[in-house]
Every structure is written in C-alpha cells, then in structure tokens.
Amino acid sequence: MGKILGIDLGTTNSLAAVWQEGESCLIPNSFGEYLTPSVVSFEADDTVYVGKTAKERLVSHPAQSFSVFKRFMGTDQRYEVNGKQYRPEELSAFVLRRLKEDAERYLGELIEEAVISVPAYFNDKARKATKDAGKLAGLKVERIINEPSAAALACRGLDEENDETFLVFDFGGGTLDVSLVDCFDNIIEIIAVSGDNHLGGSDFDKEIAVQFCREHELEFEHISSQRQRIILESASRAKCGLSEEKEVVMKVTDGEFEGQMEMSNKKLIEISMPLFERISVPVKRVLHDGKKNMLDISKVILVGGSCKMPSVQQYLRHMLGEYSLTVMNPDHMVALGVGTYAGIKERREDIKDLLLTDICPFSLGTGIFNAGNAKRTLMSTIIERNSVLPCSHRAHFQTASDYQKYVVIDVYQGEEYYADNNIHLGEVKVGVPLAPKGKETVTVDYTYDINGILIVDVEVDSTGEKKRQVITTGTDNMSSEEIKKRVEQLEKMKLSPADQEENQMLFAWGERLYAQTTGALKNEIGERLNFFQQLLHVEQNPYKVKKWKSGIEEFLRKAENYLDDSGIDWNPADIDSWYEEGDQDDERQEEDRRWYDGHLTH
C-alpha cells in the first residue's frame, strides 16, 4: 500500500501529514511552511494561485480571490470569476491539489489516497462535498474524520495516565468544535460532540473591522470590496498582535484614506461579547449530551489557531473554573491527528492496534403526521446524535389516516422540531393493506456506520413485506462491491431497543429546546408542543388556551434550567452577576474582574 496523506482542510489554513518512522509528520509546502492559506485566486488567463500568493491577492484582486469557502461546503453557494462559476468544493479541490503536489515533491512518490478532516458538525451534504473535492483533486477519499476526533488522536500521549476524560476545544478560523473524549488502554472513545460551523477567528476580525469603521464614520457593508479586504487584513494583524502585546495600534491606508485605532484585549472583549456568548453554547451542550460536569474532566485541550487569542483563553478560564488549559501547537494538532489516522488506515505495525470510536454528530429520524398542522410533519428521532458508530435502532409507526394505501418513511438528518427543517436524505415507500387509521403498523430499522452509509429497512407487520433503501450520501465514491460488503457486515449487528406572536414565541422556544435535548426530555417537549398545536387548532375558548399555555411555559422554563445545570457556574449574558456570587472567594472574584476589565495576565 502506498502512502496515505492526512489532510486538515481548514477554513483559514490547511495542512498535510503522513505517518512515517513511528510518528505523524507534517509536510512543508513550497515555501518551507506547514500552513497553506485556504485561499484561491484566479488570473484572467485562468491561471490559479493557491495559498500564500492567493492570500496576498485578496486585497489587490478581491473580485478574483476567495477565502472562507469551507463554511459553505454542501450548499448552493457559487463564486463567479472570469465568467465562470465555482462551487465551494471546487475551490477546495484546488487547495487539496496543492497539498497533494507538495507532498509528492517532499516524499518523492505519488499520492493517490487521502484522509480528510471535517468539522464534527458538518452535515451529510457538507461531508459529501468534501469527498467530491478530494475526487476532483485526484485523490481517493474513503474516509473522512471529525476534527475533534483527529485532535484526540494527536493528544493521546499528553499525560502518563492512560485512563482519562478530557474536553477538546477546537477553535479555528471559521469553525468551532467541542468534544468529550475518554481514553483508556489503546482505545480513544468520542463521547459527545457539539459545535458552530459559523464561528471562528474570522468573526473577530469582522468585529474589529466594523468597530474601526464605526470610529471613522464608515459603514463596513457600504464601502468597496477592496477597502473591506484592507480593513479586514489590518484587523487580523491587530488581533494577532494582541496575542503578544496588551495594546496595539491598528492602521489602515487605502489611497488617500488613512486611519488608525487603538486596540486592546479589553476593547476586543467589549466589542465581541456576542461571539464569546456563542462560544459557551456548544460547551454546555456537549457536557449535557455527554452526561458530564466539569468535575469529571481531567483537562481541557485547546486546538486551532484562534485558541492562541488571550481573550479566548481567559474566557475559557472563566467558564471552566480552575481547570488548566493545555495548549500544544494548536495550529498543527488536527493535521497531526489526521496523519496518525492515515497510519492506522495503512495498518502500520506500530499503530494498527490503536482504536478510535466515533459518533453520529446529528440525529437521524423520519417525519410523522402532525395532527395540529397536517401540512408540516414532525421529526421523530430514531438514531440520536452522539450515538456510537456503527449503530442500529428500531422504531414502530402506524397509519395516520383511514384506508391509506402506503406508508412513506422519509429519512431526515438534524435536530429540528419540524421534519422539513432538517436535511432530507431519502425515502422508502411501502404498500399496506386498507384499514382504519392506526390498525396497520410498520417496523423501521436504521443502521448507520462510520463511513456514512445508512441502511433503512421497513417491514409491514401484518403482511411481512419488506423494503430496504441504502442511503450513501457522502460515500458516492465507494464501489458497489464495497457497499455490498459493508451492508453484509452491518446485517450481523444486534439491534438496540428502541398566529399570535406570543404563541409563535412559545413554539420557537420549544423548538430550540427540542433541538438542544435528547431522550425522554426531547420526546416530552415534542409531545407538549404537538398537544398545544392541536389545542390551538380546535379550541375556541381563550381562557383554556391561556391556562395550557401557562403550563407549557412553566415546563419549558424547567427544561431550560435543566440544560443550564451542566456543572458550569456561569451566565455570559449577565456579566454583573459574576461579581455578586457570595460563595466566590476574593481571588476568584478578582479573576472575574480581570476577565471583564480586559486584564488578561495574572
């Protein structure tokens, strides 16, 4: 078997690594650097620049240069240049091709296969787009790996202890991933993941740029694209400068325009508070989903270039209390982990026994009849998010109307209350005998594996008729023989048991909590929302509606409090309360004030 290239395809920068001589080794690019900017720029003659050169052209040729396209993988986003349109995966393919060529030059051999990392919160469409990008770059991509899982592989030797649970906080230029990881013996088990695919260091650049414009009586959205890029580049430099200095001066020169702004970490905190609040959300969710609190965590590992920001580190110290933060080459950790996984896939003798278990980052389910609004089906979860892969779960459904001729099992991926707000992956349609509603039932089995293959089996209980659909979204480059072999393996698995504004606000609140929760609480929220929806549909008594609404509000409030009780004692939206907690000692109160005042060193 030839070398398999491990690739960290990042929003801001990309890296490549291979497993050789018993360790994961980074591949330098043509500049002798490990980081290749994820930027693509085009000339009029269709010459394509990738990396450092393209990054420089962001300012000089903003209409022909593109960055941060990873955020839009798997979407309908298009980039137009020289009369042509490019998808995000096509731009990503240029970056992958450059990494491939650099690796071939460095290693002196051809590279035909790669393992590529993706944010844990990438959905199936984004994962498929990533594989398509690899194919377009001339690479066989059988496996993609979640970025926090890759980071966990790279972190496995940080302590002498073999048994531990740690939190991986992966904060890059465009995405945030948080994961809970258990390590014991030679096994690395991912317990839970959460994240935000639209939160990263580039958002802090934007906040600084907008503040600069505000102080110079400019509107960022209304200035030329070239000036936007100039201000953003200056903002990025100022942000990086604050990693070394307490204060910097941001300077912008564009033609006759000259301006400057004093910038400090304190000021960065003040103008970026909404971003810090968003950081707390996936941390709380992953602890809730993993049924852990901070007392169960042995350490917190920071990964990703944006973790080098002192303000981010101090905010994490505030959130997570006295737990030490471990920072080891945050720019390189994911790439080193993907390189390690490439070695595992090559079955290298020195690493083949290392076992990494991964999980399903999004729930998988089907749409069911909504008695309150027949036009919008409700999401019924069959495989919950954070289920260990591979897994198989069963559910039972009944007919929803009298004498219906068939049952359609629509397959959805996501956490939303209404089925059509989730991603539709496919459907299975099976005929049923004519009977009154509820008399005919079907048994549905979902089986999902680490390669993204979902097998949906539907059986009509009264007749024994069976239908199967193999959904391979994200794995279309696997041959039919490979898929058939994998299906046979999965069949041997055992199954697990299985319009008033106030009203709209209530539903929105409930839908958010529905997406945040799992298990019995998720089901209870769904049932109460469904009941209230039906009540509004049939009940004309406003007093009865008001009574039930009050009860549902109280229930949702309790659910909200339950979610907040995750072992972390903070509320980022209410800064003043941080200093009024009577049980904090003077030293901790002083630490809180240092965070809020922007004094980020002890």
* CA distance linking residue 123 with residue 578, whole number of Å: 36
CA distances to 101, 129, 135, 477 from 97, rounded to whole Å, are: 6, 15, 10, 18
SS in 3 state form for 175-191? Answer: CEEEEEEEEECCEEEEE
Q: Is 346 a catalytic residue?
A: no
The helices-and-strands tally (H runs, E runs) of the chain is 15, 27
Among 70, 266, 284, 292, the active-site one is 70
Q: What single string gives the DSSP state of each residue in 406-429?
A: EEEEEEEES--SBGGGSEEEEEEE
What's the rounded Cα separation, in Å, for the pair 23 and 15? 16
Rounded-to-integer distance, Cα 134 and Cα 94, Å: 9
Is position 43 annotated as part of the catalytic site?
no
Of 102, 113, 132, 147, which residue is the catalytic one?
Answer: 147
Residue 150 CA to residue 143 CA, distance in Å, equals 12
Token output for 186: 């030679």
Residues 575, 580, 582, 588: is their CA dihedral positive or negative?
positive
φ, ψ (nearest 5 deg) of residue 354: -70, 130
Catalytic entry in 170, 182, 331, 415:
170
Count of alpha carbons within 13 Å of 503, Cβ hemisphere only?
15
- Please list the alpha-helical segments (H only) found in 13-169: 52-60, 88-107, 124-136, 147-155
List the catalytic residue out of 3, 8, 89, 511. Answer: 8
Sequence letter at residue 356: L
Q: Does residue 70 carry a catalytic annotation?
A: yes
H or E element at residue 587: helix 586-597
Residue 124 near residue 414, CB atoms below 8 Å: no
Q: Quick check: is 8 catalytic?
A: yes
- Active site amino acids: 8, 70, 147, 170
